[in-house]
A and B are shown apart, each in its own frame.
Chain A
Amino acid sequence: MASRKEGTGSTATSSSSTTGAAGKGKGKGSSGDSAVKQVQIDGLVVLKIIKHYQEEGQGTEVVQGVLLGLVVEDRLEITNCFPFPQHTEDDADFDEVQYQMEMMRSLRHVNIDHLHVGWYQSTYYGSFVTRALLDSQFSYQHAIEESVVLIYDPIKTAQGSLSLKAYRLTPKLMEVCKEKDFSPEALKKANITFEHMFEEVPIVIKNSHLINVLMWELEKKSAVADKHELLSLASSNHLGKNLQLLMDRVDDMSQDIVKYNTYMRNTSKQQQQKHQYQQRRQQENMQRQSRGEPPLPEEDLSKLFKPLQPPARMDSLLIAGQINTYCQNIKEFTAQNLGKLFMAQALQEYNN
C-alpha cells in the first residue's frame, strides 16, 4: 500500500480529498501567525508508524509514539520516530519521561535528529477528538511551539488509501486552554466553535531520489493483483461501525444538552427569585420611607443567591468536533462507495 502511495509521486499530499482541502483552507486562513505551515514526513516515519500499529495495535486499542525532526523556516520536517511501549497494568511505575529521554539520547548517539517535534497516535474509525488528545497536544504545543500530532487511521489505510493527518491546536484554543476556563461565556468570548479547535496542516511525504528510483522499478515488476481492495464494494460493515459510533456521540451530545438545559432553567429560576426579592425589598423600603424609618441596608445578593456552576462546555465542543469528524468520514466513504457502485453498474450494463 505504502509503495503504491509512494509510486504516485514523492510529493503527494495526504489523501484527504474534501476534508483535507477544507481543513487546509481554514488552517491557512486562521493560522497566519502559526509557526508551521507544512509538514514534511519521511517515508521511513510513515512506514514505522504503520508497522507499529500492525504489530501492537488491535481493534480499539491505540498506539502512540514520539516524532523527531527539525523545523526549517515554516516547514516541519519529521525525519524519525519511535513508539511508546504499550501500557499494561503491572508496569504502573513505568517512567515515560525517563524512557523518552533515554531514547532520544541513544538516537542522538547514532546521529539521528533528536529534536522532539510532536507525537503520533493511531485511531479507531476516526474517533480521536477526545479530551486526552486535546490535553496532551496542548502540553506539547505549550512546551514546543511547533509540535504537531499525526493521526494515523489504520482502517482507512487497509481499505486502500493511506490516511495520515497532522493536526495542531488553533491559537485561539491554546489561549482558552491556557486560561483553563471552559465556561460558556469564555468560549463565546474566544469565539471558539468545533470547527476552530484543530487546524490541519498539509502533509508532504518525501523520499530520497534513490528510493524513488527503486519505487519506479518495483512498480513495473509488481503484479496488479493486490490492488483490488480499493474497488471492494462491501460497505455495510464499515458504514455500520461508523453509524454506531456516531450514534453514541449523538447520545452524549443529547445528554450534554440536557445538562445545559437544566442549568439554563435553574439560572432563570434563580434570576426570577432574585428579582422577586429585590422587588419585595424595594416595596418594604418604600413603606419604611413613608413611615419615616431608615431604609433597610442593601444586602449582598450574590451571598443570598449563589451563582450556579455552569457546566463546562469543552466536552460538548469536543463531542461536536468528533461528530463532525464522523460525518466527514461517512460522507467521504459514501461518496467513494457511490462512485464505485455506479461504476460497477456501468460495467455490468456494458457487459450485458
Chain B
Amino acid sequence: MSRFFTTGSDSESESSLSGEELVTKPVGGNYGKQPLLLSEDEEDTKRVVRSAKDKRFEELTNLIRTIRNAMKIRDVTKCLEEFELLGKAYGKAKSIVDKEGVPRFYIRILADLEDYLNELWEDKEGKKKMNKNNAKALSTLRQKIRKYNRDFESHITSYKQNPEQSADEDAEKNEEDSEGSSDEDEDEDGVSAAAFLKKKSEAPSGESRKFLKKMEDEDEDSEDSEDDEDWDTGSTSSDSDSEEEEGKQTALASRFLKKAPTTEEDKKAAEKKREDKAKKKHDRKSKRLDEEEEDNEGGEWERVRGGVPLVKEKPKMFAKGTEITHAVVIKKLNEILQARGKKGTDRAAQIELLQLLVQIASENNLGEGVIVKIKFNIIASLYDYNPNLATYMKPEMWQKCLDCINELMDILFANPNIFVGENILEESENLQNVDQPLRVRGCILTLVERMDEEFTKIMQNTDPHSQEYVEHLKDEAQVCAIIERVQRYLEEKGTTEEICRIYLRRILHTYYKFDYKAHQRQLTPPEGSSKSEQDQAENEGEDSAVLMERLCKYIYAKDRTDRIRTCAILCHIYHHALHSRWYQARDLMLMSHLQDNIQHADPPVQILYNRTMVQLGICAFRQGLTKDAHNALLDIQSSGRAKELLGQGLLLRSLQERNQEQEKVERRRQVPFHLHINLELLECVYLVSAMLLEIPYMAAHESDARRRMISKQFHHQLRVGERQPLLGPPESMREHVVAASKAMKMGDWKTCHSFIINEKMNGKVWDLFPEADKVRTMLVRKIQEESLRTYLFTYSSVYDSISMETLSDMFELDLPTVHSIISKMIINEELMASLDQPTQTVVMHRTEPTAQQNLALQLAEKLGSLVENNERVFDHKQGTYGGYFRDQKDGYRKNEGYMRRGGYRQQQSQTAY
C-alpha cells in the first residue's frame, strides 16, 4: 500500500486506540493493551522505528494542517509561528527522514508555502492593507523559507513538475483528517468505516501512480510485493487490523506465501504469526460468535472486549500444541518487551508474563541461553517497575530482584560457556546452538550496580529509627554476597574496566564498616589465642584492611576513569582512618593531592571527600593529634553546615531557597543512615580539639591586640556561654565543653576533666569510639598538659619562681613531662623563664610587659603611624622632597622595633607616665 496510507491508517489506529481504552475502562484500564500486546506479531526493532516515524509524521501533518488553515485566512503571523514549529518537528524527525526519505507532504507544504508567500509579496495592494505584524511576519517568513527550501531544492522541483498527484493526496489527507477527528468522537462506527472503505478504494489508484514516482525509494516491481513490504514494516496495531480484515480475503494467504521464503527466521515468524492469528480467531469465535458477521470495525471493537478473557487466560501464552522452540520464545519475549515503557502497560503483569516465559522455557529445555536472556529482561523490568526515580522498590519486588539475580548468577557460574556482555549485538546472539559458546546480550555488572543503587534508595527512604530499617539492613549482607559473586565472576571473564567497577562497588560496601574481628585479633596477641580460634578467624575471610588494600591497589593500577580512582582513594583513606591508621591515611590523602581539585568533582564524590576528611580528623583526635584533628575538621565545622556537607540531611534554612527539583536531587544524594557519622561526636571532637589549642593560645596572647582566633566556632560557643544570664550545670555537649574551657582558663584541670569526661559525655560521645578507654586516657593527659601550659601563661607574672615538683603535683603529671613541657615553652620563647636544675625550679624573668605596658606600647606604635601619615599630608603641601623624610622615618621605626625587645622599660615609663 502506499506510504501515505500507512500514515493515514496509523492516525486512524491511534484514534481507535484511544477509543478502545475508553471502552475497556470499566474492565480495568491497564489491561486494555494486553491483548494488543499478545496479538502483536511484528518484529520488534522495526516496529519501534515505525511507530516513532508515525508519531513524528503525525506531528508534521498536524502542523501542516494548521499552516494551511492559516494560509487560507491570510494570517501570516500564525504561518510564521507554525513554520518554525514545523522546522523543529522536522529536525526531530530527522533520523526517520534519513531512513525513509523526505515525506512528500512535507515537500508539498514547503513548495506551497513559498508560492503562497511569493504571491502575497507581489500583491502590493494586499500588502498595504496588511497590518504591521503580518507584514513583518511576511518578510521574515519569506526569507526563512527561501533559506530553508534551498536544502530541499531537488525535491521541490520534482514536486512542482507534478503537483497534481500530490493534490490528490491532499484531498485524501483531508478526508483522513476528518475521519480521524470523527473517530476521535468515537460514536459512529459507520462513518469511519465508510471513510476507511473509501480510502481503501482510493488507495490503489493513487498509489500505483505514486509508486512510479517513488522509484528511487523503493525498487519493487509488483503491487503485491510492495504491499507486502509495507505490511511488513508497518506494524501498528491498525495494520494488524487491516491485515485481519484482509485476512478474510484470499490475498492474505498469498501474501504470507510470498513473504515466507525470504529467511528462515521470517518463516518461523510467519508461522508463529499464523498460529497466533489462528488462535486469536479461534478465541474470538468462541467468545463472540454472535458478532462474527460484523464488519471490520466491529471486529476491532470485539477484540478489545476480548482482552478480558485473554488476561484471565494468561498462562496460555502459546496456543495448544505449538511446538515451543527458541525462536518462538524469543518472539514472545520481544513481544512482551515491546510494551515496555509504554503508557498504560501494566508492569506487574509484564513481569509475571516474563516469569511465565522462563518457566515455559525451562520446562521445554530450551537451554540456559534463553533463560539467561529472559532473566536479564525480568530484572530490567523489575527495575522499570517504578517509573519515578525518587520512589523506591517495594520489599517484595526487591526480594524478587535479589532472588532473580542470584539465580542468574547460579546459571552463569554453572555454565561457563555462556558469554554475557553489553557489546554482544542482538543479531550475533547465540541462544540455542549448544556446540558454540552461548552468547547473550546483557550486562550483569550494570544490573548489579543498579541493584546496589536501588538498595541505597530503599535505605534512604526508610525511617532510620524503625524496625523496618533494621530489616532492610539485613539485606545488605545479601547485596554484599551478590557483589562478591559478581566480582568473582568478572574476575574470570570481565575486562579490567568492569573489574574496576565491581571492585569499587565492593569497596563502597566495605569501607565504612569497622572490622571488629581484625580489631579483636590485633588486640589479642597470637600466642594467647588458641590455634583453632585463629584458624576460624582466618577462615572467615581476610581482614577488611587487606581486602581494601588489594582492591584499591588494583584500581589504582588499572583504572582509567578518574572518578573510580578518586572514590577508591577516598574510601581507602576512610577505611584507614576508621581503623586508626592515621599515618597511612594522612599520607594517602597528601599523596593523592585530592584537596587541590576536589571542588571540581561531582557532588557525591565531594560528599565522600567530606566524610573522609571528617573521619580523618576524628582519627587524628583519637591519636591525640589535636592540631591535625582541628585542621581536618575546620572546613566542615566552620561552615555550620556539617549536616549538609556530609549528606546526612537537608538544612531547613535553605529550604526556601531551592525549588522542588533541586530538593529532589539533593535528597537523592543523601547518605543512608547506617553510613552516617555522628554529628554530635564530630562537633564534640572539634570543640575539644579547639579548646585544647585555643585556651593556652588565648592565655599566651592575652593582651595582644592583634591576636587572631584559631577557631571561630569555638569562640562563638564561648560567647554564647557568656551571654547566658544564669549559669546552671551544663546539659548539652556544647555547654560541657564551654564549662570545661572556663575551668581550663583558670588552669583548673580537675574541673575541666570532670566536665569533659563524665557519665553524660560518655553516653553522648566518648562511648561511640571503638577504643573508648584509650581515647579517654589520652584526653585526660592532654587536658593536664594544656592546663599546665595555660596556668603558666596566665600566672607567670605572679610568680618569681615556681618549683616543678609543685607543678607536677598540681597537674598530676610526672616530673619529666613537666620538665619537657616547660623546656619546650622556654625554647619557643613562649615563657620568659629559665630552669634552675639543682632546685628543680622555674625562675621567671619577668620580662613580659604588663597589660598597661602592652597597651602603651601599642599606642606608641599607633601614634608612630599616625605621625607618619600626618607628615605625608605635610609633604603634599611642601612638595617633592618628602622622600627624604620617609626614608629617615623608616629607619626610626626599625629602631623602635629594636627598642621594644631590649629597652621596653624605658619606653614604657616614657609613655605611660
Chain A residues proximal to chain B, CB less than 8 Å? 236, 239-240, 243-244, 246-247, 250-251, 253-254, 257-258, 260-261, 264-265, 268, 334, 338
Q: Are B859 and A243 in contact (CB under 8 A)?
A: yes
What are 12 A-B contacts with C-beta separation under 8 Å?
A: A239-B852, A239-B912, A243-B855, A247-B858, A247-B859, A257-B870, A257-B873, A260-B873, A261-B872, A264-B873, A265-B876, A268-B876
Give the distance to chain B from A112, nearest Cβ to Cβ, in Å.
39
Contact of B720 with A by CB under 8 A: no
Which of these, B705, B869, B912, B913, contacts A261 with CB under 8 Å?
A: B869
Known: A254-B866, A254-B869. 7 other contacts (CB 8 A): A236-B850, A236-B852, A244-B855, A250-B866, A254-B862, A261-B876, A334-B913
**Residues on the B chain within 8 Å of A250, using CB:** 859, 862-863, 866
Of A258, A265, A338, the contact of B913 (CB 8 Å cutoff): A338
For B912, what are the chain A residues with a Cβ–Cβ distance below 8 Å? Answer: 239, 334
Task: Collect the chain A residues with CB atoms within 8 Å of residue B876's CB.
Answer: 261, 264-265, 268
For residue A239, which residues in chain B have a CB less than 8 angstroms away from its CB? 852, 912
Interface size in chain B (residues, C-beta < 8 A): 19
CB-contacts of B874-894 with A (<8 A) = 876
| Distance of B866 from chain A, by nearest CB (Å) | 5
Residues in B whose Cβ lies below 8 Å from that of A243: 852, 855-856, 859
In the complex, which residue of chain B has the Cβ closest to the Cβ of A242? B855
Contacts of B850 in A (CB 8 A): 236
Residue of B nearest to A258 (CB): B869
Known: A250-B863, A250-B866, A254-B866. A261 touches B873 (CB 8 A): yes
- In the complex, are the beta carbons of A240 and B855 less than 8 A apart? yes
Decide: A240 near B852, CB < 8 A? Known: A250-B866, A254-B865. yes
A-B pairs with lowest CB-CB distance, top 10: A243-B855, A257-B869, A264-B876, A250-B862, A254-B866, A247-B859, A261-B872, A236-B852, A261-B873, A240-B852
Asked if residues A236 and B862 are in contact (CB atoms below 8 Å), the reply is: no
**Pick the contact of A257 from B855, B856, B866 — CB < 8 Å?**
B866
Contact of A236 among B705, B851, B873 (CB under 8 A): B851
Give the CA-CA distance A243 to B856 in the complex, in Å.
7
Question: What's the minimum C-beta distance from B600 to chain A, rounded to whole angstroms?
Answer: 40
- Taken together as a complex, chains A and B put the C-alpha atoms of A40 and B852 apart, in Å, by 39
- B866 to A253, Cβ gap below 8 A? yes
Contact A247 B851 (CB under 8 A): no
A244 vs B872: C-alpha distance when bound (angstroms) = 26
CB-based nearest A residue for B913 = A334
| Residues of chain B contacted by A261 (CB below 8 angstroms) | 869, 872-873, 876
Q: Indicate with 1 or 0, residue by residue over B890-913, a CB within 8 angstroms of chain A CB atoms.
A: 000000000000000000000011
A334 to B856, CA, bound (A): 14
Give, as a whole number of angstroms, the nearest-CB distance from B113 to chain A: 59
CB-CB < 8 A to B873: which residues of A?
Answer: 257, 260-261, 264
Interface centre among B852, B865, B869, B870 (most CB of A within 10 A): B869
Interface residues of B in 339-394 (CB under 8 A from A): none
Most buried by B among A236, A254, A258, A264: A254
Contacts of A254 in B (CB 8 A): 862, 865-866, 869
Q: How far is the CA of A246 from the CA of B911 in the complex (A)?
A: 13
Q: Report the Cα distance A260→B871, complex, angstroms.
A: 12
- The interface residues of chain B lying within 8 Å CB-to-CB of A251 are 862
- The residues of A that contact B858 with a CB separation of less than 8 Å are 247
Give every chain B residue within 8 A of A265 (Cβ-Cβ).
Answer: 876
Q: How far is the CA of A334 from the CA of B851 in the complex (A)?
A: 16
Task: List B contacts of A253 (CB < 8 A).
Answer: 866
Residue contact B913 to A246, C-beta cutoff 8 Å: no
Nearest residue (CB) in B for A254 is B866
Give the CA-CA distance A334 to B873 in the complex, in Å. 32
Chain B minimum-CB-distance residue to A250: B862
Within 8 A of A (CB), among B91-130: none
Of listed B855, B858, B865, B912, residue having the most chain A CB within 10 A: B855
How distant is the Cα of A342 from the Cα of B858 in the complex, in angstroms?
27
Q: Give the residues in chain B near A260, CB-CB below 8 Å.
A: 873
CB-defined contacts of B862 to chain A, threshold 8 Å: 247, 250-251, 254
Across-interface contacts of A264 in B (CB, < 8 A): 873, 876
Chain B: minimal CB distance from A148 (Å): 33
Min Cβ gap B320→A in Å is 88
B913:A247 contact, CB within 8 angstroms? no
Q: In the complex, A246→B912 CA distance in Å?
A: 13
Closest to A241 in B: B855
Q: Which residue of B lies closest to A251 (CB)?
A: B862
Q: How far is the CB of A335 from chain B (nearest CB, A)?
A: 10
Query: Is A240 within 8 A of B851, CB to CB?
Result: yes
**Closest chain A CB from B596 CB (angstroms):** 38
From A337, which residue of chain B is reached at the shortest CB distance?
Answer: B913
Chain A, residue nearest B705 (CB) = A247
1/0 contact string of B705-738 vs chain A (CB within 8 Å): 1000000000000000000000000000000000
A277→B15 CA distance, assembly (Å): 83
Chain A residues lying within 8 Å of B855, measured Cβ to Cβ, are 240, 243-244, 247
Chain A residue at minimal CB-CB distance from B869: A257
CB distance from B704 to the nearest CB of A (A): 13
For residue B907, give the distance in angstroms from its CB to the closest CB of chain A.
Answer: 15
A253 to B855, CA, bound (A): 18
Query: CA separation between A268 and B859, bound complex, in Å?
Result: 32
Identity of the chain A residue whose Cβ is nearest the Cβ of B855 in the assembled complex: A243
A246 to chain B, nearest CB (A): 6
Shortest Cβ gap from A127 to chain B (Å): 16
Minimal beta-carbon separation of A284 from chain B (angstroms):
29
Q: Which residues of B contact A240 (CB under 8 A)?
A: 851-852, 855
* Complex CA distance for A257 and B859, rounded to whole angstroms: 17
Residue of A nearest to B872 (CB): A261
A222 to B634 CA separation, bound complex (whole angstroms): 62
- Please indicate the chain A residues that have their CB under 8 angstroms from the CB of B863 in the complex: 250
What is the distance, in angstroms, from A73's C-beta to the closest C-beta of chain B? 45
Shortest Cβ distance from A239 into B: residue: B852
Given contacts A236-B852, A260-B873, A261-B876, contact A246 B866 (CB under 8 A): no
Roughly how many angstroms separate A269 CA and B852 CA in the complex, as a whole number?
A: 43
* Distance, CA A264 to CA B850, complexed state (A): 40
**Residue on A nearest B858 in the bound complex, by CB:** A247
Q: Which residue of B lies closest to A253 (CB)?
A: B866
A247–B912 Cα distance when bound, in Å, is 13
Instruction: Name the distance in Å between A262's Cβ and chain B's nearest Cβ.
Output: 10
List of A residues within 8 angstroms of B866 by Cβ? 250, 253-254, 257
Taking CB atoms and an 8 Å cut-off, the chain B residues in 840-863 that contact chain A are 850-852, 855-856, 858-859, 862-863
A247 to B870, CA, bound (A): 16
Cα distance A239–B705 when bound, in Å?
A: 16
Residues of A within 8 A of B859 (CB): 243, 246-247, 250
Contacts of A268 in B (CB 8 A): 876
Report B706 CB to chain A, min CB distance, Å: 12
- Complex alpha-carbon distance, A246 and B705, angstroms: 14
A260, B874: Cα distance in complex, Å: 11
Q: How far is the CA of A104 from the CA of B577 in the complex (A)?
A: 75
> Chain B residues with Cβ under 8 A from A244's Cβ?
855
The chain A residue sitting closest to B865, CB to CB, is A254
**Residue in A243, A253, A338 whose Cβ sees the most chain B Cβ within 10 Å:** A243
A234 to chain B, nearest CB (A): 12
Report Cα–Cα, A253/B858, bound state, in Å: 15
Nearest-neighbor residue (CB-CB) of B851 within chain A: A240
CA distance A250 to B913 in the complex (A): 18
Q: Kindly provide the distance from the CB of B477 to the nearest chain A CB, expressed in whole angstroms.
A: 60
Min C-beta distance of B850 to chain A, whole Å: 7
Chain B residue numbers with a CB within 8 Å of A257 are: 866, 869-870, 872-873
Min Cβ gap B109→A in Å is 63
Q: Which residue of A lies closest to B862 (CB)?
A: A250
Q: Quick one: closest B residue to A236, CB to CB?
A: B852
A258 vs chain B, min Cβ distance (A): 6
Residues of chain B with a CB closer than 8 A to A338's CB: 913
In the assembly, what is the distance between CA of A243 and CA of B863, in Å? 12
What's the least CB distance linking B721 to chain A, in Å?
19
Measured between beta carbons, the chain A residues less than 8 angstroms from B869 are: 254, 257-258, 261
Q: How many Å lie between the Cα of A105 and that of B222 in the bound state?
A: 118
